[in-house]
């Protein structure tokens, strides 16, 4: 057997050639033929007494192909590992004219995508922003309004008043179809508000969408079904076919409401309630700020880490691995996105390897247990209860071919990589209001 690798360093590709002589596979093929003969059943022959020539005639070609392919995969893997050849994805077989009926020597070739060595940016050279979100009164007022809508008594009056919600179908004037089902908040209308007062079910309201909401793309996107980008570009007249009016009475701020919102006896006064609302909303924004910084950190490391990729091979690999799902045109159009994901994967793997990160079975089960507790309203469990539930969680992790197990493992590993990289970057604090943060987070 002979294996050679022809590297094309500029293209980051390689051509791996594997040559087999008969001596390389004869013993394995003969062994499999004997095993087949021992088990084969042919009419007119006792079990185990089938002539070897007949077994070879019936099964020889298939056994030869299977054994050569098995040996081929084993030897290619061993060669790449022993020679520390770092490749992208899997070797791609080159079509060949192998004839298992007549040939005794075989040549197989594989295209390889070669991954280059690279270095991460020096410590302190990457800068990310960490938004420090302060809660403004409009944000708190909006939160309290959401609580009122959720827990207040809702009625459907005949005609609308300021502050009501109009339920119906919204579409651009002149467009076909029924439109998008919406719940339009009249309290967010800043221009021509009178158009939305005195409206009844069955009425149609024609209005300039952008003008009515003062060009506030976030306000438009929140109810219209449009993305923030689409909402920012919305222009012209829209038609709302009103089906009914929704009016929610302000709930009483009493113990019953406190318990519904935060759980029994968590807060016991309006002052405590307001403080708890501020605390919870603040924590939510802090989590979002952390998530935004993480996304920014990943983007910065991908952008500032020079990693050359074998583009032609990568596109060919994507096409072959997504046959029937992606076309060459789609891959070309979205190549930058695929390249970004690959570069981040390489960076992540490099950090894992350098830091020797490991995730234990216990850590994976603990994470799954925590997730299960959250599904039950964040309830706590003592050690005995957690251990009793561990076997159940372990079975759940193995379901669907271990998908949950792999996802949980990858999530924990990704968190460790990000935490490690955070220690190497310069974090710039950037104070913003909640309203400003929402706009930046949607960009």
Domain count, the chain: 3
Residue 195 neighbours by CB under 8 Å, 6+ apart: 205, 207, 212
Question: Comparing 106-120, 172-186, 333-347, 371-385, which segment has the lowest mean pLDDT?
Answer: 371-385
Q: Are residues 99 and 223 in the same domain?
A: no
Residue 119 domain-assigned (yes or no): no
Q: Are residues 273 and 239 in the same domain?
A: no
Q: Are residues 437 and 350 in the same domain?
A: yes
Residue 263 domain-assigned (yes or no): no
pLDDT at res. 382? 61
Nearest to 34 by CA among 17, 51, 9: 51
Beta-bridge mates of residue 431: 132
* 32-78 pLDDT tens trace: 888 877 777 676 676 666 677 777 777 788 889 999 999 999 999 99
Output Rg (C-alpha) for the chain, integer angstroms. Answer: 32
What does the pLDDT average to over 384-406?
82
Report d(CA 385, CA 354) in Å as an integer: 37
pLDDT at res. 94? 93
Residue 139 domain-assigned (yes or no): no
Residue 124 domain-assigned (yes or no): no
pTM of the model: 0.76
SS3 state at 61? helix
pLDDT at res. 32? 86
Domain of residue 65: give its range.
2-113
Beta carbons within 10 angstroms of residue 381's beta carbon = 15
Q: Are residues 163 and 294 in the same domain?
A: no
Query: Which pair of tokens denotes residue 44?
Result: 């007119």
Report d(CA 304, CA 329) in Å as an integer: 28
Residue 413 domain-assigned (yes or no): yes
Q: Are residues 236 and 368 in the same domain?
A: no
Reported as type and span, the H/E element at residue 238 is strand 237-248
Residue 127 domain-assigned (yes or no): no
SS3 state at 417? helix
CATH number, domain at 40?
A: 3.30.70.1050
Residue 425 banded pLDDT, cuts 50, 70, 90: very high
Please tell me the total number of residues recorded for the chain in this structure: 443
Residue 392 domain-assigned (yes or no): yes
Q: Yes or no: say if 164 and 152 are a contact pair by the CB < 8 Å rule.
A: no
SS3 state at 342? helix
What does the pLDDT average to over 101-115?
92
Q: Are residues 332 and 381 in the same domain?
A: yes
Q: Which of 188, 218, 248 is the last residue of a domain?
A: 248
* 226-259 pLDDT tens trace: 888 899 899 999 999 999 999 988 899 999 999 9
The string of DSSP codes covering 133-180 is EE--HHHHHHHHHHHHHHHSPEE--SB--TT-EEEEEEEETT-SS--E
pLDDT at res. 123? 93
Q: Cα–chain-centroid distance for residue 86? A: 26
Residue 258 domain-assigned (yes or no): no
């Amino acid at each position: 057997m002979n294996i050679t690798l022809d590297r094309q360093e500029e293209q980051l590709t390689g051509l791996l050639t594997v040559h087999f002589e008969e001596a390389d596979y004869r013993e394995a093929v003969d062994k499999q033929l004997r095993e087949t003969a021992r088990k084969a059943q042919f009419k007119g022959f006792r079990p185990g007494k089938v002539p070897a020539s007949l077994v070879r005639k019936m099964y020889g070609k298939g056994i030869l192909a299977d054994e050569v392919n098995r040996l081929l995969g084993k030897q290619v893997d061993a060669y790449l590992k022993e020679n520390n050849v770092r490749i992208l994805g899997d070797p791609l077989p080159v079509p060949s004219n192998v004839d298992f009926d007549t040939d005794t020597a075989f040549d197989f070739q594989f295209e390889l995508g070669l991954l280059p060595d690279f270095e991460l940016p020096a410590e302190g050279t990457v800068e990310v922003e960490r938004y420090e979100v302060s809660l403004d009164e409009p944000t708190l007022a909006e939160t309290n309004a959401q609580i009122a809508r959720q827990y207040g008594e809702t009625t459907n009056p005949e005609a609308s008043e300021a502050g009501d919600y109009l339920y119906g179908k919204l579409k651009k004037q002149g467009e076909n179809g029924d439109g998008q089902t919406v719940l339009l908040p009249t309290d967010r209308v800043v221009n021509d508000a009178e158009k939305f007062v005195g409206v009844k079910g069955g009425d149609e309201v024609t209005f300039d969408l952008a003008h009515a909401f003062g060009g506030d793309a976030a306000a438009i996107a929140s109810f219209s079904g449009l993305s923030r980008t689409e909402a920012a570009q919305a222009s012209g007249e829209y038609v709302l076919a009103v089906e009914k009016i929704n009016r929610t009475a302000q709930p009483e701020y009493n113990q019953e409401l406190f318990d519904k919102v935060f759980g029994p006896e968590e807060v016991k006064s309006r002052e405590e309630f307001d403080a708890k609302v501020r605390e919870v909303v603040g924590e939510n924004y802090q989590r979002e700020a952390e998530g935004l910084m993480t996304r920014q950190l990943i983007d910065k490391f991908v952008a500032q880490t020079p990693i050359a990729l074998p583009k032609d091979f990568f596109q060919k690999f994507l096409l072959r691995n997504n046959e029937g799902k992606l076309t060459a045109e789609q891959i070309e159009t979205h190549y930058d996105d695929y390249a970004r994901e690959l570069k981040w994967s390489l960076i992540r793997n490099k950090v894992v390897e350098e830091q020797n990160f490991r995730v234990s079975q216990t850590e994976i089960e603990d994470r799954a247990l925590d997730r299960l507790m959250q599904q039950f309203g964040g309830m706590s469990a003592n050690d005995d209860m957690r251990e009793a539930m561990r076997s159940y969680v372990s079975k759940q992790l193995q379901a669907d071919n271990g998908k949950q197990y792999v996802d949980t493992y990858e999530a924990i590993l990704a968190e460790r990589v990000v935490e490690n990289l955070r220690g190497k970057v310069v974090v710039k604090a950037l104070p913003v209001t909640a309203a400003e943060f929402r706009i930046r987070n949607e960009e």
